[in-house]
């Protein structure tokens, strides 16, 4: 009797472990609740963690994964990331679930950027809680204000640039040396040069680019579409036919949503994120398209003040 019970228990635990390890890149609140004992949850909100978070979640504010104010899209050094991961107690064989607020469609970009950073750091098992904390509480699950005890790790990482587009990659795509679709994730007004990021030298976009706004992956509030719908959208937009795709925006935030939807949901191969995007590109003085003339530039500054 005892051996039979032990066998059943072992099989049950093995099944649970395999199931948890097989979580998709997008996870629903119910699936995360069932797998909490098998995953590591990091909460990337900056202000609201202490007021209430998912039990066992570690606080990992988005700023840990971002560059300085003058160039927020810049990649954080591997040494700095390694220190952050050690403080969070992470190991590369953990299944890490990223939790964000879920306030709107733009908010998802933070989770996608962290996912991309972790994947580039060597983590293979990653998920995002679709809809974030808002979806979690709306599903009836509780938050806690109890501190989370984290045992530091000794993780060592190296950066894998497989999903990173460099300035050279972008220039080669513009010059025709490499075939790649330059995909602007910003709203049309940014692509057209009518709007611009305050840290950018000037409005405009990459030459020969086209745009697909990051919001196009959302159909019902701040939860992103599932993999099947993402594949349909990618096919309708002919993204599946591209030799390669370089996703960009202002600072690699909205562009991370396009990267995630195309790479992790739709399964499109050879999709890269240009992390510094138009802030880094414009401030370096590289060639741009759709740059407004002096009068239009002055008008944009006047109207942006109201």
Query: Going from the N-terminus, what domains does the chain have, and what CATH number goes with each?
Result: 21-159 (3.40.250.10), 162-304 (3.40.250.10)
Q: Sorting pLDDT into bands at 50, 70 and 90, what band is 294?
A: low
Q: How far apart are CA 277 and CA 214, in angstroms?
A: 14
pLDDT at 36: 97
Within a 10 A sphere around the Cβ of 236, how many other Cβ atoms? 9
Q: What is the pLDDT of residues 143-184, one digit of tens each?
A: 999 999 999 999 999 999 999 999 999 999 999 999 999 999
Q: What is the 3-state secondary structure (H, E, C) of the chain?
A: CHHHHHHHHHHHHHHHHHHHHCCCCEECHHHHHHHHHHCEEEECCCCCCCCCECCCCEECCHHHHCCCCCCCCCCCCHHHHHHHHHHCCCCCCCEEEEECCCCCCCCHHHHHHHHHHHHHCCCCEEEEECCHHHHHHHCCCCCECCCCCCCCCCCCCCCCHHHECCHHHHHHHHHCCCCCEEEECCCHHHHCCCCCCCCCCCCCECCCCEECCHHHHEEECCEECCHHHHHHHHHHCCHHHCCCEEEECCCCCHHHHHHHHHHHHCCCCCEEECCCHHHHHHHCCCCCECCCCHHHHHHHHHHHCC
Distance of CA 110 to the CA centre of its chain: 5
Q: 299 or 228: whose pLDDT is higher?
A: 228
pLDDT at 47: 87
Q: Sorting pLDDT into bands at 50, 70 and 90, what band is 207?
A: very high
Closest CA to 106 of 270, 207, 253, 234: 253
Q: Sorting pLDDT into bands at 50, 70 and 90, what band is 295?
A: low
The yes-or-no verdict on residue 48 having pLDDT over 60 is yes
pLDDT at 300: 57
**What's the farthest any 2 CA atoms get from each other in the chain?**
86
Asked if 99 and 129 count as a contact pair (C-beta separation under 8 A), the reply is yes
pLDDT at 298: 55
Asked if 23 and 35 count as a contact pair (C-beta separation under 8 A), the reply is yes
Closest CA to 118 of 248, 223, 273, 242: 273
Asked if 259 and 224 count as a contact pair (C-beta separation under 8 A), the reply is no
The yes-or-no verdict on residue 219 having pLDDT over 60 is yes
């Amino acid at each position: 009797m005892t051996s039979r019970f032990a066998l059943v228990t072992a099989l049950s635990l093995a099944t649970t472990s395999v199931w948890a390890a097989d979580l998709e890149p997008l996870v629903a609140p119910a699936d995360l609740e069932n797998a909490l004992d098998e995953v590591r949850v990091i909460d990337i909100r900056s202000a609201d963690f202490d007021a209430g978070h998912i039990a066992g979640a570690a606080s990992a504010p988005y700023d840990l994964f971002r560059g300085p104010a003058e160039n927020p899209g810049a990649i954080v050094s591997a040494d700095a990331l390694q220190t952050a991961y050690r403080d969070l107690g992470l190991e590369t064989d953990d299944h890490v679930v990223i939790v964000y607020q879920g306030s709107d469609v733009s908010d998802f970009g933070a989770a996608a950027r962290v996912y991309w950073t972790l994947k580039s750091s060597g983590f293979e098992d990653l998920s995002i809680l679709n809809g974030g904390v808002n979806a979690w509480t709306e599903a009836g699950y509780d938050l806690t204000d109890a501190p989370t005890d984290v045992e530091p790790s000794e993780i060592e990482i190296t950066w894998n640039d497989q999903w990173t587009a460099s300035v050279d990659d972008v220039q080669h795509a513009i010059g025709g040396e490499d075939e790649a679709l330059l995909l602007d994730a910003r709203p049309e007004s940014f692509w057209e040069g009518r709007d611009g990021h305050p840290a950018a030298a000037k409005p405009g976009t990459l030459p020969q680019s086209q745009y697909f706004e990051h919001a196009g992956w959302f159909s019902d509030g701040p939860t992103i579409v599932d993999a099947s719908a993402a594949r349909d959208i990618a096919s309708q937009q002919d993204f599946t036919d591209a030799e390669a795709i370089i996703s960009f925006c202002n600072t690699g935030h909205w562009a991370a949503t396009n990267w995630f939807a195309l790479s992790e949901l739709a399964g499109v191969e050879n999709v890269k994120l240009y992390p510094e995007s138009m802030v880094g590109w414009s401030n370096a003085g590289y060639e741009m398209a759709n740059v407004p003339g002096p009068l239009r530039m002055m008008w944009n500054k006047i109207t942006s003040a109201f």
